[in-house]
Structure 1
Amino acid sequence: MLMDILENPNPNPKIPKTTNVCEVDDRFSNLPEPIIHKIFSSLETIDIIRLSAVSRRWRYLWLSMPYLNLDIDTVWSDAEAKWSINTIIDKFKDFVNWVLMSQDVSINLKTFRLWCYHRGGDHTLYRWINIVARRNVEELDLNMYSLAPFELPHCLVTCESLLVLKLNFDFHCAVKLPTFVGFSRLNALEFVRIDFSDSNLFRNFISSCPLLENLSMEACIFRDFRILDISRASLKSLTINNGAEHNCDGLENCELKVACPNLATFIFIGPSAADYLLEGLNPLKNVYIYLDSKFEAIDTMEYYESNYKILKLLEGVCQTEVLRLSYGDLECLQFTEELAMPAKWFPVSFYNLKTLTMMVGAIEKHIFSLLCNAPNLETLKMYLGECDYDEWEMPDEAFSCLKFTLKTVELFEVAGCQNELELVRYLLKYGGVLQKMNINWVKSLENAEEIISKITMFPRSSSAIELTYAELLSDVYFYQL
């Protein structure tokens, strides 16, 4: 019956009775309707419609659902085997129209999530946006296979109920930003695979959202930008993700300027920007920097310039309490020795740092220069996937945090190589207040018992330390730590 309705939409939402409908009232059916709505909020709308056959109480429940999740890929099973893509698009348009026409328009929408195709000359998507804007939608999540540029419509920009806006494109899409002020209550903004072409328009757009707290940009192109300027006093979380998997240049040709005095979380993934200007980021709580390393392919001068840029970036976030750094970030420490500087020299101090997570590679014997400048560190997490190359040189003495503040150490991807064992020996020897050390083996490690017996013999400075060992059942990646 349902498939007949979907293929021949009718404004009348009445669903025929079936002989096998369960009429038994249960505790779930007797819950208040708003609670049932919340429980069903993560389900696809098509599945909620199908549930209408389960109970008389649920028969028209979907008509008042304030959570709509409409996905062109899940309405029909194996649709491409029956219809062409154009037919599927047209049938999906009929289905969405039927849902929006059937629902009670007086009910405000909490969320409207839509996965669809967007074609040039077709204004259907804009009509849907207009409908949900009139229904005071709070969260709009658009995921599109876009075949044409997309423009933020006036009705959406001026929608006073909108709190969250997510624009996710399957391929890079040009998006026309508004030239007028709007989004008066917008709290969170997420852009995925968007091609921006006007830096001034982008800056004005961000600065005109008075309540914006969360901004995320993933795999975005900043075409012809000389500077990406993000200046918003209300902003608390900023994510810029142009990692290698997205296959885009990120900000390689663009300066990144961040002037957000209340920023608490800053995530930067991808190639290094052309330069950094980070102003007044004092209350930072959490920083994650993962830079793609390309030093092998550039000359010596470019190498030093790249390192100075990374140091400049680290200096801008030095007030953070939680910091994650990748192999590429730490490569800048290598040039201290090449410039005949002391191995412990590092131009940035992290006095507020409590938790540090690092991906350790072949040259990270100089990571200790960073640890020396984190005197209040309490938790250290290290991913040791590539530390079995050059022999490390352990410091002759303990750095301050190891003696007085470091309480927890977690080591991942431990295979028992000499560098790893020397690191464990050093941490146990000088860890004056260490309380816990967790050692996580690589998968299928055969000589774990032998390694444990060696570690057991290492001298310990702290009598209260608890050593635990675990075998990883799956691969652990740095971004998961």
Structure 2
Amino acid sequence: MEQPTKQKSVHDADDDGRFSDLPDEIVHRILSFLRMRDLSRLSVVSRRRRELCISNPHLDLSNIDLINSDESSRSRFNSFVDRLISLRWMHRVKTQTFRLRWSFVGGDDEYRVATWLQHAVNMGVARINLELVLDLGKPFDLPHCVLGCNSLRQLKVDAGDGFVKLPSPYFAATNLQWLELRPVRIGCNVNIGELLSSFKSLKCLWLDKISGTKSMTFTSPSVVSLILSNYDDELCNISILQEKLQVLGISWSSKSGGKSLTISAPNLKRFYLGGSAVDYYNCMKDFPHLFNAEMGLLSFPTHQASSKHIFDKILHSIQRAKCLTINECFVEVLLEQGCLPFLFDNLEHLTVRRSSRGVQVLPLCSLLRGIIKLKHLTVSCLTRDFANVTNSMPSREFSFKMGYWESQDLMFTRQLKKVTMVLFDKEDEVELIKYLLKNAEELEVMEILYTSPVSSDLITEIRRYDQRG
């Protein structure tokens, strides 16, 4: 039987006026904003509206608003969904998008969801988005039919407090382009590298909260964007060997040591590294095309002689970046380890983010010494910490005033065009602002943000140094 159409007569009792005169695509778009309970009511209003509810190529199912309902209400709703999917199957309705937001409150929910997914696969689904509410630590076994679906282009699964379990690699879809799984547990019988290498068309891969494996190797020839996050101490080794990779994000939060990261991605353009610093870092090839790098490292080895060697390697791998975002605590560690100043001869945009008490003056100054072509500078706020000051005068007499900044002979001021500074403690930040206003001859914009009211006298003092007229 063919899928329902909107053919009707002017004398048809089901003619609903302007609503029925709209093209199916417009009506389906309108219906996508309705909750399932509202759709169930709409489907009994008229034959025409019933056909439209059945024929919508974008199927969005949710029982989230029924979590606190009684069992009878949930049962009636489940029966309606079963009937809707059966009618779609009967009329051979093609499914472009299947979105399921489902709370597992009944014993048969897992079987029911698997059945609905099978129907979507049989109807040539292109995009599947699952948002599941599971019990803490409960697995969701991704059905074999999903990864074996040749029509599937995009798959997103969020298992909430549970986790996604992958099937064996022999059912991998050959046309999948986007895969996003969170949290994901790799079974002992699943070779993640073998599974992913079977995705010949995969472009974007996002694996969140990975667990269940000690090592992962990514060698997919087609992936251009790879995002990985891990909060499990079991995972020790990550190897990324991908020629076409352009976007790489890794967040590795770990309490134990012995972590290693190997990267070979000669076409990388964007790189994020956050969480805990690794104990072994090997960049097998430079990133000559790197445009944007973000260093969000927050945790570092406390007693490790090779830390400087690791940090030097990280800096060399991002040396060609034009845009760099780095948090203040990593800058401090780089200075403590003797890694600064470091030559960033291609850097044009620098953002130093405050992650705790504020950006210390000495680490920031050491970072700026290695930058030549900087055009845009953003600093969240400055603070002074005399613990690292190596100066003959007592710390209470040490000053980061204008004379200090001018003595550093910073070369980046020659091309600087825009500065964004957040005032917090004011004194040291204002001194840097005055220095930049006086010495940055190409400066076009000085943006000052403040967390507390600023006196008119301070504003007047700052404006005295503005050389732009």
- TM-score normalised by L of structure 2: 0.75
Whether the 8 Å contact between 1:206 and 1:232 is mirrored in structure 2 is yes
Structure 1 pair 42–254 and aligned structure 2 pair: CA distance change class (3 A): farther
Structure 1 pair 179–217 and aligned structure 2 pair: CA distance change class (3 A): closer
Is 1:452 matched with 2:459?
yes
Other-structure match for 1:358: 352
Structure 1 pair 266–421 and aligned structure 2 pair: CA distance change class (3 A): same
Structure 1 pair 260–126 and aligned structure 2 pair: CA distance change class (3 A): farther
Task: Find the aligned partners of 1:252 and 1:379 in 2 and give their Cα distance.
Answer: 37
3-state SS, counterpart of residue 18 of structure 2: coil
Residue 419 of structure 1 is aligned with which of 399, 418, 428? 428
Structure 1 pair 396–57 and aligned structure 2 pair: CA distance change class (3 A): farther
Other-structure match for 1:368: 365
Other-structure match for 2:242: none
Q: Trace 1:68-79 onto structure 2 (pairs within 5 A).
A: 68-74=59-65, 76=66, 79=67
* TM-fit CA distance, 1:403: 0.7
Residue 138 of structure 1 is aligned with which of 126, 129, 139? 126
Residue 383 of structure 1 is aligned with which of 380, 384, 401? 380
Whether the 8 Å contact between 2:360 and 2:384 is mirrored in structure 1 is no
Residue 83 of structure 2 is aligned with which of 92, 98, 106? 98
| Contiguous gaps of at least 5 residues in structure 1 | 1-11, 13-20, 465-481
Is 1:25 matched with 2:18?
yes
Whether the 8 Å contact between 2:162 and 2:183 is mirrored in structure 1 is yes
3-state SS, counterpart of residue 113 of structure 1: strand
Residue 407 of structure 1 is aligned with which of 417, 420, 444? 417
Task: Find the aligned partners of 1:396 and 1:51 in 2 and give their Cα distance.
Answer: 75
Other-structure match for 2:446: 437
Deviations 1:194-230 (A, max 9, x none): 2335597122223332222222233x133451x4333
Whether the 8 Å contact between 2:193 and 2:217 is mirrored in structure 1 is yes
Whether the 8 Å contact between 2:168 and 2:189 is mirrored in structure 1 is no
Q: One-letter code of the match for 1:380?
A: L
3-state SS, counterpart of residue 235 of structure 1: coil
Structure 1 pair 40–259 and aligned structure 2 pair: CA distance change class (3 A): farther
| Contiguous gaps of at least 5 residues in structure 2 | 5-13, 233-250, 387-398
Task: Find the aligned partners of 2:330 and 2:45 in 1 and give their Cα distance.
Answer: 55
Deviations 1:446-474 (A, max 9, x none): 335343222112253xx27xxxxxxxxxx
Structure 1 pair 49–93 and aligned structure 2 pair: CA distance change class (3 A): closer
Task: Find the aligned partners of 1:430 and 1:260 in 2 and give their Cα distance.
Answer: 39
Residue 190 of structure 1 is aligned with which of 174, 180, 183? 180
Instruction: State which structure, 1 or 2, has the greater radius of gyration over its C-alpha atoms.
Output: 2
Q: Count the aligned residue pairs.
A: 415
3-state SS, counterpart of residue 240 of structure 1: strand
Whether the 8 Å contact between 1:380 and 1:408 is mirrored in structure 2 is yes
Other-structure match for 1:394: 405
Deviations 1:277-330 (A, max 9, x none): 3344433333333122356xx3xx33x544543443343233333332223332
Q: Trace 1:185-264 onto structure 2 (pairs within 5 A).
A: 185-198=175-188, 201-218=191-208, 220-225=209-214, 227-242=215-230, 249=254, 253-264=258-269
Deviations 1:108-130 (A, max 9, x none): 32322212245888422221211
Task: Find the aligned partners of 1:54 and 1:285 in 2 and give their Cα distance.
Answer: 56
Other-structure match for 1:312: 313
3-state SS, counterpart of residue 366 of structure 1: helix
Larger deviation, residues 315-324 vs 427-436: 315-324
Q: Trace 1:56-95 onto structure 2 (pairs within 5 A).
A: 60-74=51-65, 76=66, 79-80=67-68, 82-83=69-70, 90=75, 93-95=78-80
Is 1:267 matched with 2:272?
yes
Task: Find the aligned partners of 1:263 and 1:37 in 2 and give their Cα distance.
Answer: 40
- TM-score normalised by L of structure 1: 0.73
Whether the 8 Å contact between 2:437 and 2:465 is mirrored in structure 1 is yes
Q: One-letter code of the match for 2:119?
A: I
Structure 1 pair 447–439 and aligned structure 2 pair: CA distance change class (3 A): closer
Q: Trace 1:157-172 onto structure 2 (pairs within 5 A).
A: 157-172=147-162
Task: Find the aligned partners of 1:50 and 1:452 in 2 and give their Cα distance.
Answer: 63
Is 1:286 matched with 2:274?
no
Whether the 8 Å contact between 1:172 and 1:195 is mirrored in structure 2 is no
Structure 1 pair 263–126 and aligned structure 2 pair: CA distance change class (3 A): farther
Structure 1 pair 200–134 and aligned structure 2 pair: CA distance change class (3 A): closer
Taking only the aligned residue pairs, the percentage that are identical comes to 24
Structure 1 pair 56–129 and aligned structure 2 pair: CA distance change class (3 A): closer
Whether the 8 Å contact between 2:311 and 2:334 is mirrored in structure 1 is no
